[in-house]
Amino acid sequence: MLETPAYAAATSSSALAPHTIQRREAGPHDVLIDILYCGVCHSDIHQVRNEWGGSIFPMVPGHEIVGQVARVGSQVSKWQVGDTVGVGCFIDSCRDCGPCREGEEQYCEQGMNVTYNGYERDGKTPTYGGYSTRITVDENYVLRIPQGMPLDRTAPLLCAGITTYSPLRHFGVKQGDRVAVVGLGGLGHMGVKIASAMGARVTVLSHSPGKRDEALRLGAEDFMVTSDPQVFKDKAARFDFILDTVSAQHDYNAYLGLLRRDGTMVLVGMPEPTALSAGPLVMQRRRLAGSLIGGIRETQEMLDFCAEHKVAADVEVIPIDRINAAYERVVKSDVRYRFVIDIASLQDA
C-alpha cells in the first residue's frame, strides 16, 4: 500500500484536517495518478456535514480531480505514464447493467462507486477523494484532459462541467433557445458558459444582486434578481429550459411559472425537500426533471467540447490549509466561481 497525505473530516462536525490514507498499488487494470488540482464542490460540503445522511467517516472529499499518470498496471492499454488525466464523481460501476452498457454509469442499477464517501466494488473498502496527493483508479474510469487546457481551471469540469453539460445535451438545448440558469455558483457559472457555447440565449436568475456584471461577462444576455417577486411576473412563460443549480431550499413552483408551454426545468442542485404544486406543471404542460452528473463517455465529450470552445471554470486556487475557510465562503455564495485546491500544498503540509 502507498501511504498518502490527505485532508479528512473525522466527523460531521469536525473541520477538515491533515490525515494519512493508504492507496493501493496499481493493479493490472489500474492507473496511479499524482493529483495536481482538485475542485471544491458544494456536494463536498453537503457530505462532510452529513446533510444527505449516511456519510462515512473519516471522509476525504474531492471529485474534481486533475493529475498526471505516475504508474500503469500491466494490462492497461489506454494510458501511459505522464498522461494528463481527470477523475470525476465515480471510480467504478457494475459494467454490466443497461445504464453501464449505455455509458450512463452514473445510473448503474447496482449503484455507481462514488469517488469518496462510498465503497469500492467489494462493498467494504472505503473510497477517498481528491483532497489527497494520489489516487488509484481502474483505467476505464479515467478521462483524458485535452492538450493545452489550463489544468486548475479544468478540474471543476469533472463535476460542475459535466453536471450542467449533460442535461443541456440530453434535453436538446439548441441554438437560439431561451435558457435560464438559476444560481450563479460553481455549477451555475459552468451552465452559463456551456449553454452560451451551445448557442443558447442565457438569463441568470440569482439571489445575489452583485453578480450582474459577472453574469453578463460569463456569457449571459440578461440577469434577474430573484429576491424581487416582480421577476416572476415579468418573466412568466418565457424560457424553453431552466437549469436549477441552487444548493439551498427554494420554491420550485415559482420558477416553473417562468417556463413557456412544453418547457422543461431540470434540477441539478440538491437542497432539502420542497413542496411541489401540480398547478404550474399542468397549466402549460411543463416538465420537471432531474439529472445526475454524466457518464464516462459523455464526460469525455464535454471535455472535448470545452477544449474546442475554450471553456474553463473561473477559479480561486487555494492551498489546502484554507479549505475550511473556503467552505464557509461557498455556503455564503461568496466564491467566484469555484475553489480549486493546489495539491502541491499538501505535499509539504
Interaction mask 259-298, ligand NAP, x per CB under 6 A? ---------xxxx-------------------xxx-----
Cα–Cα distance, 258 to 262 (Å, whole number): 11
Counted residue by residue, the chain has a size of 349
- Does position 313 interact with ligand NAP (CB under 6 A)? The reply is no
Q: Say how many CA atoms lie within 13 Å of 216 toward its Cβ.
A: 8
Choose the one of ligand NAP, Zn ion, none that binds residue 93, judging by a C-beta under 5 to 8 angstroms depending on kind: Zn ion
Question: Contact between 164 and ligand NAP (CB under 6 A)?
Answer: no
> Rule CB under 5 A: which of 12-41 touch Zn ion?
41
239-244 and 178-182 strand pairing: parallel
Q: Does 325 bind ligand NAP (CB under 6 A)?
A: no
94 binds Zn ion, rule: CB under 5 A: yes
At what angle are helices 296-308 and 186-197 packed, to 10 degrees? 70
Query: Quick one: how many helices (H) and strands (E) in the chain?
Result: 12, 17
Q: To 5 degrees, how large is the angle CA 105–CA 57–CA 92? A: 15
Residue 260 interface partner, choices Zn ion, ligand NAP, none, CB cut-off 5-8 Å depending on type: none
Question: Of 45 and 97, which has the nearer Cβ to Zn ion?
Answer: 97
What does the per-residue mask of binding to Zn ion show for 283-312, with x meaning CB under 5 A? ------------------------------
Site string for Zn ion, 124-163 (x = CB under 5 A): -----------------------------------x----
The residues, any chain, with a CB within 8 Å of residue 302's CB and separated by 6 or more, are: 157, 161, 162, 165, 166, 194, 294
**How far apart, in whole angstroms, are the C-alpha atoms of residue 83 and residue 174?**
33
* Partner from ligand NAP, Zn ion, none binding residue 97, C-beta < 5-8 Å depending on class: Zn ion
Q: Does residue 208 touch ligand NAP according to CB under 6 A?
A: yes
Cell 498526471, residue?
Answer: 68
> Taking CB under 6 A as the rule, does residue 169 contact ligand NAP?
no
Q: Please give the grid coordinates belonging to residue 186.
A: 460553481
Contact 145, 154 (CB under 8 A): yes
**Residues of this chain that bind ligand NAP (CB under 6 A):** 41-43, 46, 159-160, 163, 183-188, 206-208, 211, 245-248, 250, 268-271, 291-293, 330, 333, 335
